[in-house]
Amino acid sequence: MEFKQYIENSAKAFNTIDKKQTIRIISHIDTDGICSAGILTKALIRDKKKFSVTFVNYITQDFIVKLSQESHKNFVFLDLGTSQLKNIKTYLKDKKVFVLDHHVTRAKRSENEEEQIYHANPSLFNINSSREISAAGITYLFAKELNKKNMDLAYLGVVGAISDLQEENGFKGLNEEILNEAVASKKIIVEKGLKFFTSGTKPLYKLFMKSLSLYIPGLSGNEDKIFDFLNSVGIEQRTNNRWTRISDLEREQTERLVKEVSRIKVGEKEIKESKDIYANTYRCLSINEEIKNLKQLSTLLNACGCLDRASLGLGLLLGDKKSFIRATYTLKEYNREIISTLNWLESNKKTRRTIEQNGHIILNAETSTNPKILGTATSMLAQNLNVAEGIYLVTLSRDRNKKTKISMRMTGNKQNKGLVKLLRKVIEPFEGECGGHSNSAGGVIDVKYEQQFIENAKNELSKKAIEEVIE
């Protein structure tokens, strides 16, 4: 059976749910999860069905047991659930359950059409779930089968893909199909724009102060160093008695600036031609006139999720103006916090918190950073850390529930499709949870196992480094 056929069959089963019954939705807190929830709730509102939404960072066996004690008969897991499929099948066996997730799975696809649990995961159908479709994309395909009117929600599938770094100056596979449907529905327009600079109206120095796409270690957040940098590339601080904006620059100045940023961030090889400073931008026509493009929307939603305000992101997508205003304030707080986290990680590279050896770096923030922004911070650090390409980067941070959040990436632009498998091997002895994509992995363990995990990670990553040298 093909993936789309499985989605269609799952949607048919979903449509048999009595409208009097409330549909319990559990969704991940990141942009992809919020977009997934936005798509499904909009579809349910359109069909006049009742629902209840809960956002979580991860799910555990205890959480699923609590769900089993609720009176609800229908559950939907969005952008999570794959890693807990065994517990879902055990404790929710008397419920009708839909898992719409794209995280890499070791499960095998069931051919049983009468099953109560519908696991719509593209990796079960030999689709690259890290590159070709996001959870929001899956939810969109599902919603489209529920009601063809839901094709106007394709743009949220695109946002989910952007947030999960599946866009590389265009899309592949199912993502490309979803993009074409979003453009056809006149919700977005694809244009060419400058790399790194998403706003032409904000003061240039403020973009360097606060923009995450412009994060540069030692520069971001430091006003004096930003002005020194701009002067070094021939850009005045002020133009026409106001702070200089990117839109004020001559083409030659603009190209020189973006090339210099590119040189610092991604290396000389990326900037040999002028065309390398431009990339696709996705102009948003469907949310709010202040949200200019989908990357901006993605960042806004991610900020809400990371600071425990995912419901604001959902409210924004549902058109609530107060949620939008509160979300914009949340974004400012998020930007400050993530730059602070990046600067902390950067400044602690040579302290007791850091282990650097044999092709890997392990950074233990303990309680010094917000674990909910750890994944984003680790991804950015992996791209900006001044070390050789292809180094394993592992970060740890504790939450308030005596859990340690773990993120694993590889430095530079080198892709490693085995990160989830590798982290799972390290984490399994400690009763932890693990999931992720081909080039990013995350997990959770009890704090009491933290030091044992670090020792095991050192051993396994050292072995891995030796294996790669031999190969």
Tens-digit pLDDT profile for residues 417-468: 678 888 889 998 998 888 777 678 888 999 999 999 999 999 888 887 655 5
Question: Residue 338 pLDDT > 60, yes or no?
Answer: yes
The CATH fold assigned to 348-470 is Diaminopimelate Epimerase; Chain A, domain 1 (3.10.310)
Question: Residue 270 pLDDT > 50, yes or no?
Answer: no
- HSE value, Cβ hemisphere, 13 Å, CA-based, for 32: 26
Q: How confident is the model at residue 413 (pLDDT cuts 50, 70, 90)?
A: low
How much is the pTM? Answer: 0.80
User: Collapsing DSSP states into helix, strand and coil, what is residue 431?
Assistant: coil
Tens-digit pLDDT profile for residues 384-400: 766 677 889 999 999 88
pLDDT value at residue 199: 57
Q: How confident is the model at residue 4 (pLDDT cuts 50, 70, 90)?
A: very high
pLDDT value at residue 24: 97
Extents of the domains making up the chain: 3-180, 194-341, 348-470
Distance CA 408, CA 436 (A): 9
- Calculate the average pLDDT of the chain: 85
Cβ atoms of residues 289 and 197 within 8 Å:
no
Tens-digit pLDDT profile for residues 100-130: 999 877 666 665 445 678 999 998 998 988 8
Question: Residue 471 pLDDT > 50, yes or no?
Answer: no
Question: Residue 203 pLDDT > 90, yes or no?
Answer: no
The CATH fold assigned to 3-180 is inorganic pyrophosphatase (n-terminal core) (3.90.1640)
Which DSSP string corresponds to 372-389?
GGHHHHHHHHHHH-SS-T
pLDDT value at residue 469: 44
